[in-house]
């Protein structure tokens, strides 16, 4: 590619991605401690810029401060990209990220002012994770590796790795939203044991709270299956590519930790630390899967396997014609 890597922009995007992870953790801490409405007004706090930081106010106000820092960093990244990034689509993505973080802030304010309406709370979670994906994608797109990597041919496979990883990422995102719905409905302990459900494979009784809890557990099985498939493909066919192997192995470790945190959350009756960590690590699983998808797309494209298969079949056809001639 003709673009010159901008190491400064890449490092700044990495800083923003790290700050966003902290923001997600602090946001989860607000929910885990029941501090969502500790500050009843917005954008000020009790009519002040800095309120008395006691009790739940400390958690809620800290969340606002970290959100403000992330917003300013996103603004700086957008301006930097507009001025220095030669690729138009990367500049557009940086602008979209800033628009999304502003929308996220507004949704957070509406959540407080209207006493946590479920649709707004869900939208707040959805945009938070979408924004995290955006900034991680920007960190990858601005990396020297992404700019300089040469496209390759992928070994023939029914499903290209980029598509498989993208599917895995999408299902993880949906699973996060199901988990958020469960939390906002207060259904985290609707099934009080784990791995069984009321001591059985299937819950013996049902209501909407038990249903969403059980759906979240089933979703975890689907995510585990897709992650296992994706990682197995990487290790079987792309073991020699560290840019794929490392995030694939990290994906296994993070998912294992996430499942353990989910179990501990139930066993400790939603203790603050494991519950909050469960939210944060879920987001980490999401962006790690996204990393595999983007890097696979950069190396092989989304039609790589089919293209290779077509090339092989064409070559065989030409050889066959030469023999028969």
Mean pLDDT over all residues of the chain? 91
Read off the pLDDT band of 105 (50, 70, 90).
very high
Tell me if 177 sits within 8 A of 157, measured CB to CB.
Answer: no
Neighbour count for residue 198 (Cβ, 10 Å): 13
Q: What is the C-alpha to C-alpha distance for residues 240 and 216, in angstroms, rounded to an integer?
A: 35
Q: What is the C-alpha to C-alpha distance for residues 270 and 75, in angstroms, rounded to an integer?
A: 36
Q: 229 pLDDT exceeds 90?
A: yes
Cα 106–chain centre separation = 21
**End-to-end Cα distance, the chain:** 42
Q: What is the pTM of this model?
A: 0.91
* 287-296 per-position pLDDT tens digit: 999 999 999 9
User: What is the H or E stretch that residue 188 is in?
Assistant: none
Q: What distances in angstroms separate CA 121 from CA 113, 116, 177, one per listed residue?
A: 12, 6, 11
Which residue stretches of the chain are H helix? 7-32, 56-84, 88-113, 118-141, 144-148, 161-184, 208-237, 242-267, 272-300, 304-324
Sign of CA dihedral 47, 49, 52, 57: positive
Tell me if 203 sits within 8 A of 197, measured CB to CB.
Answer: yes
SS3 20: helix
Q: Is the bond preceding residue 43 a cis peptide, omega within 30 degrees?
A: yes
* 118-135 per-position pLDDT tens digit: 999 999 999 999 999 999
Read off the pLDDT band of 308 (50, 70, 90).
very low
Q: What is the C-alpha to C-alpha distance for residues 182 and 162, in angstroms, rounded to an integer?
A: 30
């Amino acid at each position: 590619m003709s673009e010159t890597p901008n190491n400064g922009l890449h490092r700044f995007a990495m800083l923003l991605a790290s700050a966003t992870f902290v923001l997600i953790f602090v946001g989860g801490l607000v929910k885990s401690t029941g501090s969502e409405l500790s500050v009843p007004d917005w954008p000020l706090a009790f009519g002040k810029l800095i309120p008395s930081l006691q009790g739940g106010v400390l958690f809620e106000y800290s969340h606002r401060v970290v959100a403000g820092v992330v917003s300013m960093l996103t603004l700086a990244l957008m301006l930097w990209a507009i001025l220095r990034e030669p690729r138009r689509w990367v500049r557009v993505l940086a602008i979209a990220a800033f628009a999304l973080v502003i929308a996220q802030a507004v949704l957070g304010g509406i959540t407080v002012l209207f006493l946590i309406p479920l649709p707004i709370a869900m939208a707040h979670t959805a945009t938070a994770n979408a924004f995290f994906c955006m900034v991680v994608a920007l960190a990858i797109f601005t990396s020297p590796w992404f700019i300089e990597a040469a496209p390759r041919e992928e070994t023939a496979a029914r499903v290209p790795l980029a598509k498989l990883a993208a599917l895995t990422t999408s299902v993880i995102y949906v699973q996060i939203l199901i988990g958020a719905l469960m939390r906002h409905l207060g259904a985290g302990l609707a099934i009080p044991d784990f791995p069984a459900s009321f001591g059985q494979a299937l819950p013996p009784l049902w209501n909407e709270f038990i249903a969403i809890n059980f759906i979240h557990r089933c979703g975890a099985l689907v995510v585990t299956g897709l992650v296992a498939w994706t990682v197995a493909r990487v290790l079987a066919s792309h073991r020699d590519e560290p840019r794929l192997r490392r995030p694939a192995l990290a994906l296994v470790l993070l998912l294992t930790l996430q499942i353990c945190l989910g179990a501990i959350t139930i066993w400790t009756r939603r203790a603050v630390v494991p519950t909050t960590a469960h939210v944060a690590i879920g987001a980490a699983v999401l962006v790690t899967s996204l990393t595999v998808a983007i890097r696979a797309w950069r190396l092989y494209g989304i039609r790589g396997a089919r293209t290779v298969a077509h090339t092989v079949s064409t070559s065989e056809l030409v050889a066959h014609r030469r023999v028969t001639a």
